[in-house]
Amino acid sequence: MRRHLFLPVLILIAASLACNAVFPPRPEVLWDTSPDAVIVAADTCCGMMYDPNGVTDLRLWGDGRVIWVEYDSHGGRRVLTATLTPDDMSQKLKAIVDSGFFGWKDYYEPPYQIYDAPSTCVNVYLASTSKSVCTLMGDPPNAFYGLSSQVIEGQSGSLYLPETGFLQATPMSGVSVNTPILQWPRDSLGMSLRDAAVGQWIEGEALELAWQIVNDQPFNAIVQEGDTYYNLVLLIPDITRQQPPVP
C-alpha cells in the first residue's frame, strides 16, 4: 500500500517543482516602509575568508535608503549610499519578481563536496513573503548575479559616513611592515588606542579616521601609536556584518 502512495507523491513534488520553474510565483510588490526594515540584502561571505571589518555587499531598507560596497584593485573599498524613491523601489523590486527569483531553488551547489568556500546569497523581504537564494560554487540562473546591480542601477552614490562606531584596537607584537604605517594622532584626537583594547564607542574625528583606515585596508587595518602597533576592528550598527555590542 505504501509503495502505491509513494509514486503519486513523487509525481506531485516533481510537478510542483517544474511548475515553479516555468511559472514562478509573482508576489505583489508591497513592502514594509519602515526605515529599519531590510527589504533586500546581498552578500558574499564567510567560509575561510577572515573579514572582521566586513560590510554586507548591499542592503536596501524600507524607506529607500541603500548602502553598497565597491572594491578597488588593491583591496580597498568604498561604502556608498543613496536613497531610492518609492517608484524606484517598486520598479526594482518588480524586476526581481519578474526575473523568476521567487521560483528559484533556495540553494545551488555542485555535486561534489566544498570546504570553507564563501557563499553568495540574495535575500528579499516583501510584505506577503520572503525568499533567500544562495549559491556555493553552484549554477544558479544567469540573472542571479545581476540582482544587486539592478538595485543600484542609475544611482549616484555618495560616500557613507557613520555617526557612531565601536572600535576595538588589539596590540600586536612582532609586526614586520614594508610600507609606512599611519601614526594614530592621540594628542589631537584626545584618544589613545590603549583605551580601545576591549572596545570603545567613538564618534567625530576619531570615527572618521578609523573608518578611513578600515576602508583602505579592510583585512589588515594596522596603525601605530608610539612604539605599539594595533590591529583595528570597527563595528558599525546595521552596516558591518558583525554587530557591535548594545551601548
Confidence category of residue 180, pLDDT binned at 50, 70, 90: low
Give the integer Cα–Cα distance in Å for 77 and 59. Answer: 16
**Using the 8-state DSSP alphabet, how is residue 244 labeled?**
P
pLDDT at 10: 44
Q: Is 75 exposed, middle or buried (0-12, 13-18, 19+ CB in 10 A)?
A: exposed
In which band, very low, low, confident or very high, does the pLDDT at 35 lie, cut at 50, 70 and 90? very high
- pLDDT on residue 17: 45
Q: Residue 4 — very low, low, confident or very high, per pLDDT cuts 50/70/90?
A: low
* pTM of the entire predicted model: 0.86
Q: How many CA atoms lie within 13 A of 75 on its CB side?
A: 10
Q: How far apart are CA 63 and CA 32, in angstroms?
A: 8
Stronger pLDDT, 192 or 1, i.e. the higher one = 192
The pLDDT assigned to 23 comes to 76
Cell of 209: 579616521
Note the pLDDT tens digit of each residue in 52-103.
899 999 999 999 999 999 999 888 999 999 999 999 999 999 999 999 999 9
Residue closest to 102 by CA, chosen among 28, 30, 40, 25: 25
Q: Which amino acid is at 104?
A: W
Residue 134 C-alpha cell reads as 544562495
What pLDDT was estimated at residue 51?
83
What pLDDT is recorded for position 21? Answer: 53
Better-predicted residue by pLDDT, 235 or 16? 235
Q: Which amino acid is at 161?
A: L
* Category of 209 on φ-ψ map: left (φ > 0), alpha (ψ -120 to 50) or beta: alpha
d(CA 145, CA 136): 13
In the predicted structure, residue 15 carries a pLDDT above the cut 50: no
Number of residues written out for the chain: 247
62-71, 177-186, 205-214, 215-224: segment of lowest average pLDDT: 177-186
Q: How far apart are CA 223 and CA 218, in angstroms?
A: 12
Domains by residue range for the chain, with CATH: 25-159 (3.30.1560.10), 165-235 (no CATH)
Chain CA centroid to CA 37, Å: 15
Determine the pLDDT at residue 22: 61
Chain-wide mean pLDDT for the chain? 89
What does the pLDDT read at residue 175? 72
